Amino acid sequence: MSAPEERGALTPRLSSLYACALRVEHAEPEGPWSRVDAAPPVPRRVPSNRGSRDFTRTRDELTRLLGPLLVAPDPVEAAEEVHRRLDALDPPVRHRTLRLLVAGMPVENEERARALARVLVRTGTGYLAVCTGLALLTEQGEPQDVPYLRTLGRLRTLAYPVIHALDALDRPAGARLELRNHREPMAFGPLFAALDSGDRTAVRERLVALPEGVGPEVARRVAEASWLVDLLAEVPGLPAPEGAALIARAGRLLFLMTTLRDYQPEILSFPDAPRAYEAFARGAGLLPTTLDHHALLLSAVQELSTGPAVLHAWGPGRREGVLSELVAVLGRPEWRVVPDEEGDESGVRWRVVWSGWRGPVPAGGRRELPELRFDAFAYDAEIARASGDESWMWPARRAARLVAAGLRGRPDLLARWSVRFDWAGTAFRDPDETLVSLLHDV
């Protein structure tokens, strides 16, 4: 079934989720996120009295139920059967589990599996059935499927299943959809408008003007949505101040992606990281010599020497070349001494500054936190001392730390079983028990 082909709705009684998404897309005056139109008329399932599902048994059951339908010659009939079989599951399968299992199913006939996925996505009336189609398109989709996914992503309940599919087919589109679902989407409104207009100058200006303080995942999604690497390729043709502003923004986004707020840094989920670092290093010489920019360059050198960004598939000599460019910039005379704004006659004073405090303010209260300044050398010495202090650890915690360090340093130990290290720690109920979590790639 080719992309433009359309077939009739699966049942005349229910409106498809795609039809609901089209109503949301064209809704007036509520706009694209009308909650009234975003509620598909799908009946609720009666809660099951049966226990939770076992992952392995669920995988085997879904393979038995859905496997034959992936090679069925008539995709419309197969889609109707998908609805019936998924509706009959008791207890029902969660959509996250469904996505993982369907995406991992063997596909004997890609053309027929793709045709079934398109019927499910465009005419499906059941949430799990549409999620099944989305999971299939993650592996079997083509560029012409992207417009349908963008429309379907208008439904909030389907946004994240759609994002997973778009990440495989059109990563910038997936990033934009995730940012639209951010808890503060209005902060990205000017950037969205610039992206919709196709004006690259406006995109660059809006990207540089984005507010500071975003989290690691948001920083990655902003870089993906704005085609950061392509924008950086235009730096040589820009006036120096504009090029420097874009280079500084790119450096901050890369730094935020390396900030560890979860068990895995976001920089590892940014496929364009090597190209972005290369462009950042090429333009680093444009940066004015300030303490902030000096810290940005040092952070990039540290990350590319011992940080998670090293784990990207750089290829021979690429990472070393980026490091050489950054070190060369830092070695220039103007960068060797970056004065503090409050330097006195005796020489330069390096400082670490804590400022720009953010956080909730009590009702009727006022937050008054002063700016804190520390001597940089004393600060670094204290950080080094605290980092090497293990006196607070008990045996189980020390064991967890050693296991984590050993497995991160030797990923090949687990790769032979298609297993990846997740985390290591101590049990909440029994601090003397060491727990190790591993992830198996299905």
Contacts of 19 by beta carbon, 8 Å cutoff, 6+ apart: 9
434: part of which helix (H) or strand (E)?
strand 434-440
Say what the pLDDT of residue 188 is: 85
According to DSSP, the residues that pair with 213 across neighbouring strands are none
Q: Which of 212-235 are b and which e, b meaning 16 or more Cβ less than 10 Å from the residue's Cβ?
A: eebebbbbbbbbbbbbbbebbeeb
For residue 385, tell me if it sits in a domain: no
Say what the pLDDT of residue 320 is: 94
Q: Are residues 146 and 273 in the same domain?
A: no
DSSP structural state of residue 36: T
For residue 208, tell me if it sits in a domain: yes
Q: Are residues 165 and 194 in the same domain?
A: no
3-state secondary structure of 259: coil
- Please give the structure tokens belonging to residue 411: 């990923």
Q: Total domain count for the chain?
A: 3
Q: Are residues 89 and 176 in the same domain?
A: no
For residue 400, tell me if it sits in a domain: yes
375: part of which helix (H) or strand (E)?
strand 372-375
Q: Are residues 292 and 323 in the same domain?
A: yes
Q: Are 225 and 179 in contact (CB under 8 A)?
A: yes
Q: Are 380 and 389 in contact (CB under 8 A)?
A: no
Say what the pLDDT of residue 47 is: 54
Say what the pLDDT of residue 321 is: 95
pTM to 2 decimals? Answer: 0.70
User: Do β-strands 419-426 and 434-440 pair in parallel, antiparallel, or remain unpaired?
Assistant: antiparallel
Contacts of 365 by beta carbon, 8 Å cutoff, 6+ apart: none
- Please give the structure tokens belonging to residue 137: 């398109």
Rounded to 5 degrees, φ, ψ at 351 are: -135, 155
- Please give the structure tokens belonging to residue 102: 């369907």
Last residue of a domain, one of 309, 338, 367: 338
Structural domain of residue 267, as residue ranges? 172-338
Q: Are residues 196 and 246 in the same domain?
A: yes
Q: In 3D, which of 118, 204, 222 has the Cα closest to residue 169? A: 118
What is d(CA 118, CA 113) in angstroms, rounded to the nearest whole number?
9
Say what the pLDDT of residue 12 is: 45
Number of C-beta neighbours around residue 64 at 10 A: 10
Q: In 3D, which of 133, 40, 156 has the Cα closest to residue 86? A: 133
Q: Are residues 15 and 157 in the same domain?
A: yes
For residue 349, tell me if it sits in a domain: no
Per run of 10 residues, the mean pLDDT along the chain (length 442 residues) is: 46 73 70 47 49 76 91 94 89 82 87 95 92 93 95 88 94 92 76 90 93 86 95 94 95 89 80 96 93 88 88 92 92 73 49 69 61 76 77 86 88 81 85 87 62
According to DSSP, the residues that pair with 440 across neighbouring strands are 419
Last residue of a domain, one of 169, 202, 220: 169
For residue 379, tell me if it sits in a domain: no
Q: Scanning the structure block, which residue is given the tokens 């139920």?
A: 65
CA 430 to chain centre: 33
Q: Are residues 85 and 134 in the same domain?
A: yes
For residue 153, tell me if it sits in a domain: yes
User: Do β-strands 372-375 and 351-354 pair in parallel, antiparallel, or remain unpaired?
Assistant: antiparallel
For residue 159, tell me if it sits in a domain: yes
Q: Scanning the structure block, which residue is given the tokens 């299939």?
A: 136
Q: Are residues 153 and 210 in the same domain?
A: no
Contacts of 9 by beta carbon, 8 Å cutoff, 6+ apart: 16, 19, 123, 125
Q: Are residues 162 and 178 in the same domain?
A: no
DSSP sequence for 314-329:
--TTHHHHHHHHHHHH
Q: Are residues 152 and 20 in the same domain?
A: yes
Rounded to 5 degrees, φ, ψ at 126 are: -105, 140
Last residue of a domain, one of 151, 169, 187: 169
- Please give the structure tokens belonging to residue 134: 């989305």
Chain length of the chain: 442
- Please give the structure tokens belonging to residue 377: 């050398």
For residue 368, tell me if it sits in a domain: no
Q: What is the CA radius of gyration of the chain?
A: 26
Q: Are residues 321 and 197 in the same domain?
A: yes
Tell whether omega for the bond before 91 is within 30 degrees of 0, i.e. cis: yes
Q: Are 433 and 427 in contact (CB under 8 A)?
A: yes
Number of C-beta neighbours around residue 435 at 10 A: 14
Q: Are residues 81 and 179 in the same domain?
A: no
3-state secondary structure of 191: helix
